[in-house]
Structure 1
Amino acid sequence: MGRIKTVLVKRVSRELVDNYEDRLSTDYATNKQSIKSLAHIPSKKIENVVAGYVTRLMRARKAA
């Protein structure tokens, strides 16, 4: 079983994917750098979790 993502992480990630889908990819490291320039997230840990969830969402969109 995996970790549960908080509402904040899911909401921010969905907004980023909806608004900036062209700047995001299925690669975690690339998304991590992109998110630094696209959103102001004060916590490094939350920034990493958002980058991971964005990567997951992008892979799901690509597969669909």
Structure 2
Amino acid sequence: MGRIIQTFVKRVGDELLERSPDNYSVDFDKNKLALNEIIENGSLKCPSKRIRNRLAGYISRAVVLRSK
């Protein structure tokens, strides 16, 4: 059985992918860096590193699924 993803992660991850799909890739570490830039700009509030990592993982997985 898979893990349940929080609605916040799904909603924000999908919004970020719709806004700028070219900024994200299959690579988790690149997605973390891209999210760090967005968080530092102030356009995204992320309460913790754990949530940022979950967002990066969700986006990585979503990119893989959308490419199929």
TM-score (norm 2): 0.85
Q: How much has 1:42 moved relative to structure 2?
A: 2.2
Taking only the aligned residue pairs, the percentage that are identical comes to 40
Matched letter for residue 24 of structure 2: L
2-structure distance, mates of 1:19, 1:48: 19
| Count of residue pairs brought into register by the alignment | 63
RMSD: 0.9
Any stretches of 5+ residues in structure 1 without a counterpart? none
| Offset of residue 6 of structure 1 | 0.8
Give unpaired runs (5+ residues) of structure 2: 39-43
TM-score, reference length from structure 1:
0.90
Larger radius of gyration: 2
| 4+ residue runs over 4 A deviation | none
